[in-house]
Amino acid sequence: MRIVLVGFGAVGKALVGMLEAKAEELYRAHGLSPRVVCVIDSGGAAVAGRGLSAAALLAAKTRGGGGGGSVAGIEAEGAVGLRGVEAERVIKDTAADVLVETTPTSVRDASRAMGHLRAAMGAGMHAVSVNKGPLAVAMPALVQLAAHNRVMLRYSGTVGAGTPVLATARTLAAGDRIVRVRGILNGTTNFILHRMQTAGESYQDALAEAVRLGYAETDPSADVDGIDTATKVVILANAVMKMGATIGDVRVSGIRDIERSRVREAAERGMSVKLIGEIDATVGARGGAGRALSVGPAEVERGGPMDVPRNVNAVEFTLEKSGTVTLVGRGAGGDETATAIVRDLVEIWHEGGGGR
C-alpha cells in the first residue's frame, strides 16, 4: 500500500515511526505492507518510490534549523526533495493508493486541506483525514465525492483518536438503533472543568493551569468556545446517523462564562458540569439536523461513567433496546491519532480486498 502523507507535525512523525515499528506485525496479522512514498509539508515534498524512512525525514526536518526545515531537504538514496511545490499537484502526480491528511485543523480556513482530499480522491486514491476542518464544513460533499470516485474516505482519528468512538458507534448501530449520543469529546475543556470542580479554581485560573501543563494551546478559542466539540458532533452525526450535517447545523455554546458557583452548586447536588456534545436522533428524524445537534455545558452524574477526570474523553450511546453503552478513554495525542490512522489503513486494506 503506497501512502502519500500531507503534514509532518506530531501526528505525521508518529505515524511514520509507527508504520516502521509495526511493519512486521502489520504484515503478519493483515498481509499489509504500507510504504510512505511521498511526504508533503509547508516547505515542499519528499518522494521515493521505494518508501521514505522516518530517520531520513526527521533529519531533513531538523536540518533546516530554527524550525525552518522541510522534508524537501531529504538526503537519502532513491529519495528526491522538491522545494516549494504545490501540494495538490504533487498529490495528483504521485502514484499512490491512499492519502493521509494530517495538517492542523482550522474550521475557519479548511480550504487547503479540502483541496488535498479532493485532489487525492479525484485521482482515485482512498483518503484518511485526521484534519477535522474539511469534515466540519463539507462532510456530506466529501462523502459524495468518495462515492462518486469509488474510493474510501476514513476519519476515525477525528473523534476520540485512540478511543474508537466511530467504530463503536457503527457496531452499535448495526444491531440496534442509537437514539441519543452524549459525548465529552474535548480534553482541554474537561481538564478546565475538572480543575474548577476539584481545586475550586475560577475559569481563568484553571485555563492558565491547562496552558501551563500543555493541555490547552495559548489560543484556546476552538476548545473553550465549543468549536472542536461541534466538529466532532458533526462527524459522528454524519458517520453513524447519516444526518448530512455541517457545523452550521450545531447549536454551540462554550465554557468561557462558566462561574465557579455553578460548578460548586452542581457538585453539591452530586453532579459534575461537563462540556457535552449531543446528538438527539429522535429530533433529527422530526425536524432536520439543526435542532438535533448541540454543544454546551451540561451535568452528568458524579461517579458515573461519564464523570471522567482531566483530559479523558467519554461517549454515552443510548440505544433503543440495549440501554446505554459508554466508552471511556484518551482523546487526542500524536501517538493516539497515529494509532487511529493505522486502524483506518488496515480497514481500507481489508475492505479494498487486500489480504484475501
Give me the residues that bind its own copies (CB under 8 A), please. Answer: 18, 25, 30, 161-164, 167-168, 171-172, 174-177, 302-303, 305, 307-308, 314, 319, 321-330, 333, 335-336, 338-343, 346-347
Q: Which is nearer to its own copies, 177 or 260 (CB)?
A: 177
- Selected catalytic residue, list 13, 132, 232, 274: 232
Q: Which is nearer to its own copies, 118 or 194 (CB)?
A: 194
Find all residues with CB under 8 Å of 157, minimum gap 6, and list them. 11, 128, 130, 336, 337, 338, 340, 341, 344
- Between CA 87 and CA 100 the distance in angstroms is 13
Burial class (CB in 10 A: 0-12, 13-18, 19+), 65: exposed
- Tell me the closest approach of the beta carbon of residue 172 to its own copies, in angstroms: 6
Q: How many CA atoms are closer than 13 Å to the CA of 198, on its beta-carbon side?
A: 11
Task: Kindly state the DSSP code that residue 104 receives in the 8-state scheme.
Answer: P
Q: Which is nearer to its own copies, 93 or 347 (CB)?
A: 347
The closest of 153, 151, 150 to 166, measured between CA atoms, is 153
- Tell me the closest approach of the beta carbon of residue 67 to its own copies, in angstroms: 26
Q: Which conformational region is residue 160 in: left (phi greater than 0), alpha (psi within -120 to 50 degrees), or beta?
A: left
Find all residues with CB under 8 Å of 186, minimum gap 6, and list them. 223, 226, 228, 229, 232, 275, 313, 331
| Cβ pair 162, 168 in contact under 8 A | no
The closest of 354, 344, 331 to 15, measured between CA atoms, is 344
Q: Which is nearer to its own copies, 164 or 297 (CB)?
A: 164
DSSP-derived secondary structure for 239-300: HHH-----GGGSEE--STT--HHHHHHHHHTTEEEEEEEEEEHHHHHHH-HHHHEEEEEEEE
- Tell me the closest approach of the beta carbon of residue 297 to its own copies, in angstroms: 21
Give CA angle at 145 (155, 317), nearest 5°: 35
Task: Kindly state the DSSP code that residue 352 receives in the 8-state scheme.
Answer: T
Q: Which is nearer to its own copies, 71 or 281 (CB)?
A: 281
Find all residues with CB under 8 Å of 89, minimum gap 6, and list them. none
Q: Which is nearer to its own copies, 66 or 303 (CB)?
A: 303
- Between CA 228 and CA 222 the distance in angstroms is 6
Grid cell 452524549 in the structure block, residue: 182
> Strand 153-154 to strand 178-184: parallel, antiparallel, or no bridges (unpaired)?
unpaired
Question: Quick check: is 274 catalytic?
Answer: no
By 3-state DSSP, what share of the chain in percent is helix, strand and coil, each rounded to 5? 45, 20, 35
Q: Which is nearer to its own copies, 249 or 316 (CB)?
A: 316
Mind telling me the catalytic residues? 232
